[in-house]
Amino acid sequence: MRVIIESTPEAASRRAAQMVARLVRQKPVCTLGLATGGTPLKLYSELIRMHQEEGLDFSRVTTFNLDEYVGLPPSHEQSYRYFMQKNLFDHINVDVRNTNVPDGRALDFEKYGERYEQMIADAGGIELQVLGIGTDGHIAFNEPGSSLGSRTRLKTLAPETVRDNARFFGSEKAVPRLAITMGVGTILESRRCLLLAFGENKADAIAATIEGPVTAQVTASALQLHREVVMVLDEAAAAKLARREYYDEVESAHRMLETGKLPWIEEA
Ligand code: GLP
């Protein structure tokens, strides 16, 4: 797990956008896993800028979103399909037919979950999965107690998540109580994960995710079992990490490798 700490959400989002852009440039036919919420907004606006100003080409990219609220039509302003169109898809040259957001109005969620998994497999699996994190340590809508092997399915939102998301719906009462979500097992199968977290309200969840035990009570902690995870944090979200000094060491080691300058080797 690589932990990158930037001074601000803006700097962290630019860093994350560079990682996504590098993949899209190297592998124009690729599959991205995308997330919603306030956290990835700046990442998406940076990708839009890169598309508009630098010609970053999404024409052959396929996307799969993590989750969707049950019952909301795509035209609902709080649906995750609406969010993705407004904040990313409508501003880049992705083919909308290659963008997938779970259908919150599916009638048979068990069958639909299997179908979504099959669609991901048919697309060759997810190359890079963008993730945010809930204040209770959830990824996608895998609330505490979700099986770490879970697949795409229905989940009931935890009271903490309902409270967190009430700001988007105007009241707690209006927040859907059910969502269809990729499982932790689905997310662990993506080849790379890129988790973003900003703000002090994420600091406890981030410390538990990175330095706590692997537990279904903090589903993001399952990422410790993944072979390639990058966490991009701002200072506030990183504030409760005990091994901060080491993460900074790793970053300066990466810079040394990039420049080829190893200070402990005397120049001849
Ligand atoms: C929701 C989404 C998650 C997201 C989380 C955090 O629960 N299902 O994918 O990570 O919210 O949202 P925010 O980025 O707004 O803090």
**What DSSP line would sit under 150-212, residue for residue?**
--SEEEEPPHHHHHHHHHHHSSSTTS-SEEEE--HHHHHTSSEEEEEE-SGGGHHHHHHHHHS
Is 67 among the catalytic positions? yes
Is 90 among the catalytic positions? no
pLDDT at residue 268 in the model: 54
**DSSP conformational letter for 128:** E
Give the C-alpha separation, 38 to 237, whole Å: 14
Phi, psi for residue 100 in degrees, rounded to 5:
-125, 125
Give yes or no for residue 67 CB within 6 A of ligand 1: yes
Rounded to the nearest angstrom, the distance between the alpha carbon of 71 and the centre of ligand 1 is: 18
pLDDT at residue 35 in the model: 98
| Contact between residue 215 and residue 221 where contact means Cβ atoms under 8 Å apart | yes
Phi, psi for residue 144 in degrees, rounded to 5:
-50, 135
| Contact between residue 198 and residue 237 where contact means Cβ atoms under 8 Å apart | yes
pLDDT at residue 70 in the model: 97
pTM exceeds cut of 0.75 = yes
Per-residue pLDDT of the chain (268 residues; tens, 9 = 90+): 999 999 999 999 999 999 999 999 999 999 999 999 999 999 999 999 999 999 999 999 999 999 999 999 999 999 999 999 999 999 999 999 999 999 999 989 999 999 999 999 999 999 999 999 999 999 999 999 999 999 999 999 999 899 989 999 999 999 999 999 999 999 999 999 999 999 999 999 999 999 999 999 999 999 999 999 999 999 999 999 999 999 999 999 999 998 888 888 876 5
pLDDT at residue 260 in the model: 87
20 three-state secondary structure: helix
Give yes or no for residue 133 CB within 6 A of ligand 1: yes
Instruction: Tell which residue, 68, 77, 62, 72, has the closest CA to residue 31.
Output: 62
pLDDT at residue 261 in the model: 85
Task: State the CATH class of domain 2-259.
Answer: alpha beta
Report the atom number in ligand 1 closest to the C-alpha of 39: 14
Rounded to the nearest angstrom, the distance between the alpha carbon of 186 and the centre of ligand 1 is: 17
Give yes or no for residue 9 CB within 6 A of ligand 1: no
Return the structure tokens found at 92.
């880049």
Instruction: Tell which residue, 146, 134, 210, has the closest CA to residue 184.
Output: 146
Best residue for ligand 1 mutational test, from 70, 133, 135 (most atoms within 8 Å of Cβ): 133
pLDDT at residue 190 in the model: 98
Rounded to the nearest angstrom, the distance between the alpha carbon of 131 and the centre of ligand 1 is: 8
Residue-range domain boundaries for the chain:
2-259
pLDDT at residue 47 in the model: 98
